[in-house]
């Protein structure tokens, strides 16, 4: 939890330092803009060109290669502040830690011997330093942060490591003007002289609040220095592991739980809504760092704890280390020895992959900041893929999934891992066999006349080569409470068996209604096809015993499938815009016409979505937002009965290319007073011009015949395959995606009151 607050507050502090007084007007961290990257030439050679050669990668300081060259004294552009708190003067011995001092020694040696940090520029605050002024007390930590900010210069590489306990306290009263806490709770780092809670006014004496760390780091980045901040500490629910010590204090040791409850109550009164007991889980829900100067690595998510444990595992001379720090240093050592730098993103994924091998489980470390794709302690951004392969429980897994627009059947090009002596090179392809929300399972495959790789490399890099847009089966079920359920199931099965062979894989009757998209409900006089979501209108069918039941069911399922396939492909193509892969960009505005001669006014989408009633007159204005590309745009509408109609261009009308920056407005359409009413969807298909233009109106004409779409119309072939099963392709390559795409708008029609 400490880490997520620091993420947010660090981001706000950097932003505030850039915007000056304007920064204090911000009240929502989710509205932070990404500040423009200030390009500053480094004052000293960057890490990628000033790598210290080394062959030894052991983490034991005593067995390091003593012949490794030391950093030059003149190399003053690299600075570090390493804080490790092991003993707490005013807390019981049970609260003391063993690992932070070891963490600091380990990181210090690596920075000096492998990354060229001058020894005099690495300040360590630990019990081991033997000087009172170098104990990790509040005053010492504040002093060294100030000195670091004063010494920092443009282009410097700065490392900050905080290792020790974290905890919570009520936020200040009044709350921080830049980042008031939604739950009224501040996260705190505990220096050696921290004292237990006294009262609301003083809060936890000598504790360092997340907002103070925010400001201290902001003072460094304000000098245009690059900062990597590592937080090997946590606060979360109690957890114990054999042989491990969790870096947290038990609840109530510092702050009485009643005081935290009062703080939440004050936050609730201020915001007008209940204060959350726990903030949103996962680093993907926190805002990014304010600019590229700051990258922060966190030991765990707020609902997890991070341990310190004996390392190396099963070694007679093992010492306690923070799991995060030890893992980071291991990867940094191996990368330095290879002479090939890792980016911060790649470093974190290496650490995450190592955590997965722990049989006792592990937290989820993460890295935040717009500069994640810079090499560690450098300024260069290698032009290489950011997707990474890992082997998890016998499966090859890549860190991109359904929420990123990846589908089963999609193909990835695989490269050898970074951080090796040779540059990453293509080793073959992998095909996605299963998607999960944030990751996908892949297997080696032959593709594009390239042989199947013998083995997929651990930590290999991947890039998307082709996306499969195949539409999954339409699944039906019969509710458990349906009378004569077996009879209904039998009738549906008989109807599906009449389908031609090409359509047999499109529909599936499933036993579990929770996995179905539609339910069939039958009564004495009729049957109905009902959407499980409740957002679509029920479809009336003949009675179960009627001769027409089977044919009517099959016909309606085909209609639904075609509409569903069109919208599904449209939504997936539109999602490519979020990944920055789409080059065919258009803007679509809804215009409302109050009178017959009204040229139309833009109708912004209200919070609950557009709703139109009989008599309403609307049109669409389409603008080519590209500065260089000519585009063709086709508009198709799916009505509440799943019928697909061509709206623009008109039937038998030539589709004219839209010049860059140009717009057109469609004909005005009126809302009929005849039912059905319900949800409707507009799918805009955007393509590069072809000669002759592609007639997407053919997609509205049922039938099993080929529509003759040529190879220069890949999206038309894709839609035909998805809707009718007769097209020539089920996916698009990345280059094809850049030349075409889709936009999807939805609204609902309602009867007059």
Element (H, E) at 683: strand 679-687
Q: Does domain 387-468 have CATH number 2.40.10?
A: yes
Question: 621 versus 578: which is more confidently predicted?
Answer: 621
Least confident of 35-49, 64-78, 484-498, 563-577: 35-49
Assign 707 a pLDDT band (cuts: 50, 70, 90): low
Decide if 321 contacts 401 (C-beta within 8 A). no
Closest CA to 389 of 336, 452, 448, 443: 443
| Residue 592: per-residue pLDDT | 95
Assign 29 a pLDDT band (cuts: 50, 70, 90): very low
Is 60 exceeded by the pLDDT of residue 285? no
- Distance between CA atoms of residues 543 and 535, nearest Å: 24
| Residue 390: per-residue pLDDT | 86
CA 98 to chain CA mean position, Å? 35
Using only the alpha carbons of the chain, give its radius of gyration: 31
User: pLDDT tens digits for 614-654?
Assistant: 999 999 999 999 888 899 999 999 998 889 999 999 887 88
Assign 187 a pLDDT band (cuts: 50, 70, 90): confident
Is 60 exceeded by the pLDDT of residue 37? no
Assign 239 a pLDDT band (cuts: 50, 70, 90): very low
Question: 725 versus 526: which is more confidently predicted?
Answer: 526
Q: What are the angstrom distances between the C-alpha of 484 and each of 252, 478, 512, 525, 734?
A: 60, 10, 17, 14, 50
Least confident of 70-84, 204-218, 527-541, 670-684: 70-84
User: How confident is the model over 437-457, as a mean pLDDT?
Assistant: 92
User: How confident is the model over 542-546, as a mean pLDDT?
Assistant: 89
Decide if 585 contacts 626 (C-beta within 8 A). yes
| Residue 22: per-residue pLDDT | 25
Is 60 exceeded by the pLDDT of residue 375? yes
709: number of CA atoms within 13 Å, CB side?
22
Least confident of 122-131, 396-405, 532-541, 557-566: 532-541
- Residue 413's beta-bridge partner residues? 429, 463
Least confident of 103-112, 241-250, 581-590: 241-250
| Residue 41: per-residue pLDDT | 31
Domain ranges of the chain: 2-63+70-368, 387-468, 563-749
| Residue 253: per-residue pLDDT | 54
Is 80 exceeded by the pLDDT of residue 206? yes
How much is the mean pLDDT over the chain? Answer: 77
| Residue 270: per-residue pLDDT | 54
**CATH class of this structure's domain 2-63+70-368:** alpha beta
Question: 326 versus 724: which is more confidently predicted?
Answer: 326
Question: Using CA atoms in the order 423, 427, 431, 436, what is the torsion angle rounded to 10 degrees?
Answer: -30
User: How confident is the model over 196-201, as a mean pLDDT?
Assistant: 70
| Residue 402: per-residue pLDDT | 77
The DSSP annotation for 293-342 comes to: TEEEEESS-TTS--EEEEESTT-TT-EEEEHHHHHHHHHHHHHHHHT-PP
Is 80 exceeded by the pLDDT of residue 526? yes
User: How confident is the model over 463-473, as a mean pLDDT?
Assistant: 84
Assign 188 a pLDDT band (cuts: 50, 70, 90): confident
User: pLDDT tens digits for 125-156?
Assistant: 998 877 889 999 999 999 999 999 999 999 99
Residue 87 burial (10 A CB sphere; 0-12, 13-18, 19+): middle
Assign 286 a pLDDT band (cuts: 50, 70, 90): very low
- Residue 161's beta-bridge partner residues? 82, 230
Is 90 exceeded by the pLDDT of residue 471? no
pTM of the model: 0.53
Question: 345 versus 258: which is more confidently predicted?
Answer: 345
- As a whole number of Å, the end-to-end CA separation of the chain is 51
């Amino acid at each position: 939890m400490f880490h997520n607050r620091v993420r947010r507050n660090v981001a706000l502090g950097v932003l505030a330092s850039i915007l000056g007084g304007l920064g204090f007007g911000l009240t929502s961290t989710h509205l932070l803009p990404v500040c423009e990257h200030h390009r500053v030439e480094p004052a000293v050679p960057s890490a990628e060109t000033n790598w210290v050669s080394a062959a030894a990668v052991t983490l034991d300081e005593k067995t390091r290669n003593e012949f490794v060259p030391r950093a030059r004294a003149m190399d003053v552009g690299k600075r570090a502040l390493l804080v490790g708190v092991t003993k707490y003067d005013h807390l019981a011995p049970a609260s003391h830690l063993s690992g932070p001092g070891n963490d600091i020694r380990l990181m210090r040696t690596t920075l000096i011997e492998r990354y060229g940090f001058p020894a005099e520029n690495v300040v360590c605050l630990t019990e081991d330093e033997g000087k009172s002024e170098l104990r990790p007390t509040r005053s010492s930590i504040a002093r060294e942060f100030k000195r670091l900010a004063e010494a920092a210069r443009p282009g410097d590489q700065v490392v900050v490591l905080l290792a020790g306990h974290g905890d919570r306290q009520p936020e200040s009263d009044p709350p921080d003007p830049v980042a008031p806490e939604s739950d009224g709770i501040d996260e705190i780092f505990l220096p050696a002289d921290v004292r237990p809670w006294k009262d609301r006014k003083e809060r936890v004496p000598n504790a360092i609040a997340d907002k103070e760390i925010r400001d201290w780091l902001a003072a460094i980045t304000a000098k245009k220095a690059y900062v990597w901040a590592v937080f090997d500490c946590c606060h979360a629910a109690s957890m114990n592991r054999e042989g491990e010590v969790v870096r947290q204090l038990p609840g109530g040791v510092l702050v009485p739980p009643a005081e935290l409850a009062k703080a939440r109550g004050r936050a609730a009164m201020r915001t007008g809504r209940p204060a959350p007991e726990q903030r949103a889980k996962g680093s993907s829900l926190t805002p990014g760092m304010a600019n590229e100067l700051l990258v922060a690595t966190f030991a765990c998510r707020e609902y997890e704890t991070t341990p310190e444990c004996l390392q190396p595992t099963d070694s007679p001379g093992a010492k306690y280390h923070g799991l995060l720090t030890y893992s980071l240093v291991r990867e940094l050592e191996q990368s330095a020895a290879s002479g090939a730098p890792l980016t911060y993103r790649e470093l974190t994924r290496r650490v995450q992959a190592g955590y997965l091998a722990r049989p006792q489980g592990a937290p989820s470390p993460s890295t935040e900041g717009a500069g994640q794709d810079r090499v560690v302690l450098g300024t260069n951004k290698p032009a290489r893929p950011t997707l990474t392969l890992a082997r998890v429980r016998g499966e090859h897994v890549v860190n991109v999934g359904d929420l990123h627009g990846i589908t089963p059947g999609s193909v990835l090009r695989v490269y050898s891992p970074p951080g090796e002596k040779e540059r990453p090179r293509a080793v073959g392809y992998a095909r996605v066999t299963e998607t999960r929300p944030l990751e996908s399972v892949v297997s080696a495959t032959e593709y594009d006349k390239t042989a199947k790789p013998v083995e997929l490399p651990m930590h290999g890099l991947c890039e998307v080569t082709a996306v499969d847009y195949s539409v999954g089966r339409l699944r039906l079920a019969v509710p458990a409470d349906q009378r004569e359920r077996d009879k209904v199931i039998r009738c549906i099965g008989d109807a599906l068996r009449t389908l031609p062979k090409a359509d047999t894989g499109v529909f599936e009757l499933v036993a579990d209604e929770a996995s179905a998209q539609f339910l069939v409900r039958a009564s004495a006089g009729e049957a109905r096809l009902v959407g499980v979501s409740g957002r679509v209108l029920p479809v009336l069918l003949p009675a179960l015993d009627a001769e027409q039941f089977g044919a009517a069911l099959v016909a309606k399922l085909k209609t639904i499938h075609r509409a569903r396939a069109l919208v599904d492909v449209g939504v997936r193509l539109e999602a490519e815009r979020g990944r920055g892969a789409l080059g065919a960009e258009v803007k679509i505005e809804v215009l409302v016409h109050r009178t017959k001669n009204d040229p139309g006014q833009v109708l912004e989408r209200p919070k609950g979505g557009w709703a139109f009633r009989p008599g309403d007159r609307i049109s669409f204005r389409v603008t080519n937002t590209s500065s260089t590309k000519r585009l063709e745009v086709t508009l198709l509408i799916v009505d509440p009965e799943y019928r697909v109609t061509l709206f623009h261009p008109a039937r038998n009308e030539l589709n004219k290319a839209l010049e860059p920056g140009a717009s057109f407005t469609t004909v005005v359409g009126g809302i009929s007073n005849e039912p059905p009413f319900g949800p409707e969807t507009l799918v805009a298909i955007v393509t590069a011009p072809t000669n002759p233009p592609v007639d997407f109106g053919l997609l509205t004409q049922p039938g099993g015949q080929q529509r003759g779409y040529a190879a220069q119309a890949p999206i038309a072939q894709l839609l035909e395959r998805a809707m009718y099963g007769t097209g020539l392709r089920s996916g698009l390559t990345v280059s094809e995606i850049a030349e075409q795409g889709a936009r999807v708008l939805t609204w609902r029609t309602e009867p007059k009151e």
